[in-house]
Structure formats: structure tokens, C-alpha cells
Structure 1
């Protein structure tokens, strides 16, 4: 009886794996670079279509059209302003109209510009600094009653400003400030909206580990705020500063009630230019142009910070 021979299959040769994985570091780096280039190509911006440029051009015309027409009317005499069709190109009377605005003793436009710069500038600095301090405290410093105080701050935003005009006027009278420039500034040194805005931004943009690391290094709360927190809050502070300056510069009702004829602001002076039986339209347009220029300058100064804050928020999102 013959025995069946069973073939012997040789065992598979096993290769010991390399330490750190089955790929060499050079291969991993090349693959990472290729993936990064592919991602960059896939996320590159597509070329804008003519419809996009047309939409942008129409938007610019709608936004800048009134400003351009104001410049045209401010550089023309009254006879051209009332003509039909109206002129569409600037004239040569801009310097003369601006000189007439400043020469009007009943309006005191130069004093009004200075008063508005002081009120709007000081209010902006105060609101930004105090709102940043309060926002940082509400967001990152634990203390008793924090949530209750925050609710009170938010509650002040629900009260219309017009309801507080009479109590504020009575308070300014009791303090002996009625009719003076500080009465237009003191009620607006802090803003509930600013505190809430800075608190929300600080809660999202400032990690707790950064503050804890600064405390471990021996930094005080004041040092942490001015050296670490406030630079991070700069984009939000720029937006808040722009909004506050615009609000105080364009405010008419409260300065009209609390200031006398010797301490006007720009908006009060413009109302006097347009008052009376006869309105000099060229004079009003020249004064309006002068009253708009500080807002343009402030936007140019803070524009980079605002755009940086928007881009930073977009990247984080």
C-alpha cells in the first residue's frame, strides 16, 4: 500500500514592519504636500463673471451717488441747484460756499464742528475702553451676581432713548450742567450695547488657557487686559468705536434740547442753516459736506481693523 505524498508549501516570508509605520517619512511628506496643493487648487477663487461686476457697479452707484450729488450741489450756486435738468458735474463755487458757511455768525459752524469732535471723540474713547473692561469681566472673570448684572445691562437696551430725555434733562439741570457741552457727553460715556458686544466677542475669541497661562507667569489682571485681552479685542473695538462715533456725531435731538445757542453741534448748526423763510440750498449742501467728512475720515482710519475683524471671523467660522 503506497502512501500519498502531501506537497509541502513553503511559508510566506514575512517582512518586519518599520518603526513608525509602513511608509517612510519622505513618502509621507510628499503625500502631504500633494494633498495641500490639491486642496489649494480646489479652493481657489473662481473668476468673477460679468454679472458680478455689474452688480458691484450698481451697488457702488447707489451708495456713492448721493454723496457725489451733494458735492455737485455744494459747488454750485442756487440758480443751478433749482434748474431742470439738474447739473451732474461739480462747479467752481465750492470754496466760496464753504467760506460762507464759516462766515455765518448765526450758525457758528466752526464752533459746532469743534464741539461735535469733542463730544463724539470723548464718547467713543470712553465707550470702547469701558465696554472692553466690562465685557472682559463678564466673559472671563467669575464673580457673584455676574449673570444678574449682565441681564440688567441688556435690559437697558430695551428702553427707548426718547423715554429718558426728560429725566436726563432734569438731572443735568440739578447738576448745573444744562446748556453746557458736558451735558451732551455725560449720559453717553458707557453703552449697554457696547458691553454686550464686547462680552460676546471676548467669550469666543479669548481662550481660558491663555489667561491661566498669564496668571501662572505672575501677570496681574490689569496686565492681562492691556497686554493680552485688548489686542485680541481690537477688531471688535474698532467696529464699536465706529458705530459710537457715528451715533454721537449724527445725534440731533439730545444736543438740541440740552445745549444753548452758544454751544451747538454740527447737526444743530445744520438745522439752523436750513431754517428761516428762505433756505440757501448751496449753503446747506456745503455745510452737509463738511459735516460728512469726519465720518469718512473715521471710516478710513478704522476700516482696516473692521475688515480684519470680518475676515478673522470668517476664517474662524
Structure 2
């Protein structure tokens, strides 16, 4: 009987689970709420009991699995299987995840950073077409990334793939990391709203976006893109600026790594071709000529499933 994989995608609000074949096909999936109370002490026990409960439900044994792979926020130690500094989970101290989950489930366990894991998912079963050279950028509340070269994730000494902290505008907006002008401050969902507020102050023309901001209405990156698609002047200006920085970042990535694909995912990427076309224009403007011809920008294809699929693929190293 072919052995299976378990993928776990640990997020601040939900924990997603999937049972997959060794070829990466999802057979079962479910999710539970993330309980971050009491400094996140419930999270790992909840993961263990949810896995055990579902194995019982599907009448499966631990020996039927190659392993469990998990993507987690925070700083991950791959060897030790620990996480520290995942503040959205209330994890302030070192978490012995691997040790606890292996003990609680009797299944081997591997862990990596959540953005890296999403990159693995898109590379394996999504837009990356299982190519050995793929860069992934995820545009959400922040901007994350994962870099695959020679078929393996690049980890660096501690933190390779921090795409969101590439400086795209020296002395620009202050970032949560302490630097100024990081890509995250312009191209994340929150960054786009920040650019819109800034631009609205100096904008004098007619614009629904400006009207909404002046009236103190809540706006989101989705609203900015929707209005830009309807030819709202301020919306278009904001989108153009955001795509300029994103295109510049993609060109820098391309010039460094020359991957086959740079895949753009995350909530903001729901703007689709409208976003991609504009980012691609600036990518071509800034990319080294050979890179421009050999690196292709693509939209992510797996949506919410990238995390569980990529996480599961971590366990393939046990084979």
C-alpha cells in the first residue's frame, strides 16, 4: 500500500490539515481554529489531537504515513524542529514542536517557515511546474517569499528569502523590521492602503478613492485595485506605484537568481492579470537582458492549498 503524507499549515487564525498521496494529490482536508490563548500553549496539543482524531476517523495507522510536514510563522530551526518569535501565535519562547508532535503522533515530522512552504507547494504542484529554479513572492498582510534553486529551498545562514525586506525605496516608509523603504511597506495589503492615503493628500482630481479616504471610510487593497480597474484616477496612480516597486523587486530577484519562474501569490495577487501585466512591464524595464528573456512572471495557482501541499512535501525527505 502506498504511504501517505500529512501537511499542516499553521496560521494565526486557522490551522489547515491535509492527507496527500506521495505524488501531492490531496485526499482529505480539514481545519481547526488556532487557539493562541495562554501564550499559544494549546496550539501543539490541538494539532496532535486533531491528527490523531482524523486518523481514527479514517481508520488509518501511523505506519501508513511517510511523515508530517508543517509550515509555521516565526523563526524556524530546521534541524531541531523548533520555532521562536511567532508573535501572531503568542509564541514568545522556544517551542519544541518536532519533539512534541513526533511523541504525540508516532509519525516523523519536518518543519519550515510558512512562506518557504507555500513556495514549495507552488513549485511542486502549482505555477512552478516542478521546475528546479523557482522564486515565490506572497503578498498578504506582509510580503514573504521562498526561493528554490537546484530543486532545494535556499535557507542561507538563518533567513534567506526575506523578499519583503528588499529595499525598493531608500529612506522610504518605516518598516516593522526597523528599516526604511522595504518592499513590504509598499506592496503588502497594508502597504497599498498606506500608499493610497499618502497619494490622496496631494491628489486634486476627481476620484471615488479620494472621496472614500476623505470621508474616513475603511479601504482595502482589494478596493484600490477594483477602483483602478474602473479607471479611477487615484486608484490607477496607486496601483502603478505599487507595481513599479514590485517589478523592481522581481527584476532584482531575477538578476540574482535567474529562476525559470517568479510566482506571485497571496491575497493581493487576486487582482490577477491586471496586477501581473503592470508588474511585468517594470520587471522588463529593470531586468538584465538575458534574465528578461529567460525568467517568466506568473500568478500563483494553488491559493490556500499551497501551504498544506508544500508542507507535506517536506516529509518526502524521509523516504
TM-score, normalized by the shorter chain, greater than 0.5: no
Question: Which structure has the bigger radius of gyration?
Answer: 1
Structure 2-normalised TM-score? 0.23
* Structure with greater strand percent: 2
* Structure with greater helix percent: 1
Structure possessing the higher relative contact order (Cα contacts under 8 Å, 6 or more residues apart): 1
Structure 1-normalised TM-score? 0.23
